[in-house]
Amino acid sequence: MMVIRPIRADDYPALYSIAVESGHGFTSLPVNDELLMRKISRSEQSFNKVVSSPGDEGYLFVLEDTLTGEVCGTSALEAAVGLDDAFYHYHLGKVVHSSRSLGVYKTADILTLCNDYTGVSELCTLFLRESRREKNNGRLLSKMRFLFMAEFPQRFSDRVIAEMRGISNSDGSSPFWQWLQEHFFSLDFPTADYLTGIGQKVFIAELMPKYPIYVSLLSKQAQAVIGRVHDKTKPALALLQSEGFSHRGYVDIFDAGPTVEARVEHIRSVRNSQRLQVRLGDVSNGQPYLICNTSVVDFRATWLALDVNEHSAEVTLPADVAAALRVNAGDWVRVTRI
């Protein structure tokens, strides 16, 4: 059975392997012992913390195969970004150059450095090992975060974003960053990406161009990747779009990948989730549902074909699934359709 749970200290070797597998452009999992151990420790503290409003908490989850104990993937939630370190984006906007007397009217796209998403929650660190990209594993790893947010709304902002991985080449270079590097930096993309991942962001404020950049001045290669996602990220983007996320012109400052956003209350899996009481028994058929318990510290989630009656306040779970979720008859769970 595939089960989501909070990360533990003894998951470090698996998390390190996932960081290596994730490759270039996956800023939130740097291949760095100290940083990865700090992420695990911060997550453990966040799950154990009593929270009334979002702050500097980060919740890191793993997907475990309960038959083998293998950690097959990871995903995370940041409660509120930019409260400690500045959280940068480029916003793609327009300016108009117009002269009525000369009969000239031209629009130009510009990129403006901003911190507009400060304080919002973030979906991040989603990675599923290639050998496990089957059935509903990807959906479970991604969408279970919506159940967690629905169950514990006080821990999150009313708005949530997800930064989507942009275009990078097989050698780790980014067409967008190459232009910035040529004109403003002496750092290659993997180095800049790594420094950001380990929290050393001061170089952004020191070296990034302070004024809006006219897109037409960028190289053709850089212009072509603005707002586009890496091929491996397309399924994740499609999933979020199906949940109601949309792109409002914000892109990553390194690879120009799009950032998508939604109000939590408008996310389909949040809006359609139900809190039901557990009844133990056999389940012979039904529709696939995501299901989680209602504990923070002992949070567990999985997916199962369930027969959910919209007019009933109960749901029937097999004994082994209830045990994996750490619930008993009479306990509450939250479910939503896959």
Structure tokens at 130: 């290639």
**pLDDT tens string 244-274:** 999 999 999 888 999 999 999 999 999 999 9
**pLDDT tens string 70-85:** 999 999 999 999 998 8
What pLDDT score was predicted for residue 210? Answer: 79
User: Does residue 97 carry a pLDDT above 80?
Assistant: yes
Q: How many CA atoms lie within 13 A of 326 on its CB side?
A: 13
**pLDDT tens string 47-61:** 999 999 999 999 999
User: Does residue 40 carry a pLDDT above 80?
Assistant: yes
Q: Please, what sign has the CA dihedral across residues 78, 148, 243, 166?
A: positive
User: Does residue 23 carry a pLDDT above 60?
Assistant: yes
User: Could you tell me which of 63, 35, 47 has the C-alpha nearest to residue 27?
Assistant: 35
Q: How far, CA to CA in Å, does 183 sit from each of 104, 114, 188, 261? A: 30, 20, 12, 31
User: Does residue 222 carry a pLDDT above 60?
Assistant: yes
Phi, psi of 113 (to 5 degrees): -70, 135
What pLDDT score was predicted for residue 26? Answer: 65
What pLDDT score was predicted for residue 194? Answer: 67
Tell me the pLDDT band of 46, cut-offs 50, 70 and 90: very high
What domains sit in the chain, N to C, each tagged with a CATH number?
84-118+166-262 (no CATH), 271-337 (2.40.40.20)
What pLDDT score was predicted for residue 211? Answer: 87
Structure tokens at 273: 């989730």
Q: What is the mean pLDDT of residues 214-237?
A: 92
| Burial class for 2, CB neighbours closer than 10 Å (0-12, 13-18, 19+) | buried
Indicate the SS3 state at residue 296: coil
Indicate the SS3 state at residue 256: coil
User: Could you tell me which of 44, 56, 27 has the C-alpha nearest to residue 157?
Assistant: 56
- Residue 44 region, left (φ>0) first, then alpha (ψ -120 to 50), else beta? alpha
What pLDDT score was predicted for residue 183? Answer: 83
- Mean pLDDT for the chain overall: 91
Tell me the pLDDT band of 231, cut-offs 50, 70 and 90: confident
Which residue is associated with the tokens 């709304």? 153
**pLDDT tens string 119-163:** 999 999 999 998 888 889 999 999 999 999 999 999 999 999 999
What pLDDT score was predicted for residue 180? Answer: 83
Cβ neighbours around 218 below 10 Å, total: 21
User: Does residue 27 carry a pLDDT above 80?
Assistant: no
* Segment holding 335, helix H or strand E: strand 332-337
Question: What is the set of active-site residues?
Answer: 230
Q: What is the mean pLDDT of residues 8-34?
A: 85
What pLDDT score was predicted for residue 25? Answer: 54
What pLDDT score was predicted for residue 225? Answer: 96
Tell me the pLDDT band of 38, cut-offs 50, 70 and 90: very high
